[in-house]
Structure 1
Amino acid sequence: MKRFYIISTFYLLGLISVSFGISLILLSELGAGPWDAFFVALQQNLGLTVGSWTFIIGFILILINGLLLKQRPDFSALITMFLIGSFLDFWLIFVFIDMELSLLTFRFLALFAGIFCIGAGVASYMQSNFARNPIDHSMIVFHTLTGKSLAFSKTFLEVSVLLIALIIGGPIGLGTVIIAFGIGPLIQFFHKRVTTFRVRLTG
């Protein structure tokens, strides 16, 4: 039971950190990651909130992933998308609603702080195998169906979503490039350390 509570804490704190990081990146207005830019574009064009679109697209991906693999959709993943979406809306609507960064220095600080938080957050919630993020699961589905490497599958999907976000007016910029090259190494850096810390706690 102790291990369950510890893992759950890592999972929840990880999602909070990821959502906070995404919010900081959007606040910087220097360009968001492909999926986040896509969600923002949908919000700007169709209404609702960024968090709502995070949940809606996550639900659609869960259905598509299950259909392509001819398996029962993993609806437990809705919990992850609901939490991320809710936390996102909390930061964007209640915390950062009236905040605007005019100085370029502060915008870059927000960008890098956001990437840092996402890297640490992903490493934290990955300590649990519960409710896999459907965006990450899509990479595995593509890999399974095409036989392509995970790296190619991830890149192909990210670039595809990036192009869609660009076409419909998502916030694509220098930050998008920095995120694309920086987030992977950061996750790897944090994952080893967070895992070591978690093992110490759980014994």
Structure 2
Amino acid sequence: MLARRLVQLYLGLALFGVSTALLLRAELGLEPWGVLNQGVSELTGLTVGVVSILIGALVLLLWIPLRQRPGLGTVSNVFVVGLTMDATLYLVPETGALSARWFLLLTGLVLNGAASGLYIAAGFGPGPRDGLMTGLHARTGRSIRLMRTAIEVVVVVTGFLLGGTVGVGTLLYALAIGPLVQFFLRLFTPGARSSRVVGRAAAPVEAPEPRDAILRP
């Protein structure tokens, strides 16, 4: 049981890094934290994967005043996603063909949903950025939805100003990722265990909302 969950955890994290790299190669718009990672990468010259690791570590430091406790999945998230992201970007070349870019976008989007479902269902703790969201929710009393929206607006605007890509892919991600994660979470979680895993992994107070339970590395 534990071995299966560990395989599920690390497979999910690795696929998340791959999917994020495909979204980057598509150049049609990124998810919020991807916009920030790319913007900081453009500013500093560091690879996007390294930036993802550094930002993840910085977000973990913010857990301290929020009294959040990281799990194995939380710490693994910081490193595995960034490393697999850079490896994928090295292997997948840039393309100027619009059809190929749309293929990368749609493949990355579906793979991102599958990776999130695998990772969440493993139940080893939230990602750094979702821990920030739930920590702010606990400290302020504001809703999970409000905290997530506020964080992602700040992240997208900051990333865009630094040179990150915002486009149709960003909008498509926002609309599709919730239903995709819900579908794959049910697929990878045996029976009624789904709702329990969502509650434990992401949003203990408002767990019934699958869209609020997405663990974004």
Which whole-Å CA distance do the structure 2 matches of 1:142 and 1:192 have between them? Answer: 27
TM-score relative to the length of structure 1: 0.88
Partner Cα separation in structure 2 for residue 193 and residue 151 of structure 1: 24
Taking only aligned residues, the RMSD between alpha carbons, in angstroms, comes to 1.7
Corresponding residue to 1:181 among 175, 188, 192: 175
Aligned equivalent of 2:28, options 27, 30, 37: 30
1:90-132: CA deviation from partner (whole Å, max 9, x where unpaired):
1112x12xx2222212211110110100100010011223253
Task: Trace 1:58-73 onto structure 2 (pairs within 5 A).
Answer: 58-69=56-67
Mapping for residues 163-202 of structure 1, pairs under 5 Å: 163-196=157-190
Contact 1:124 1:194 survives alignment (8 Å): yes
* 1:149-186 Cα deviation digits (max 9, x unpaired): 21221111111101111111111111111111111111
Unaligned runs of 5+ in 2: 194-217
Describe the shift of the 1:181–1:194 C-alpha distance in structure 2 as closer, same or farther (beyond 3 A). same
For 1:174, the aligned partner's letter is: V
Could you list the runs of 5+ residues in structure 1 that have no partner in the other structure?
Answer: none
Which contiguous aligned blocks of 4+ residues in structure 1 show a shift greater than 6 angstroms? none
Q: Percent identity?
A: 30
Relative to the length of structure 2, the TM-score reads 0.83
> Which stretch of the first structure deviates more once superposed, 27-36 or 141-150?
141-150
Structure possessing the higher relative contact order (Cα contacts under 8 Å, 6 or more residues apart): 1
2:189 match: secondary structure? helix
Larger radius of gyration: 1
> 2:81 matched to 1:79?
no
CA contact (8 A) 2:71 2:124 kept: no
Cα shift at 1:53: 1.1
Q: How many residues align?
A: 191
Deviations 1:122-153 (A, max 9, x none): 10011223253111111101211221221221
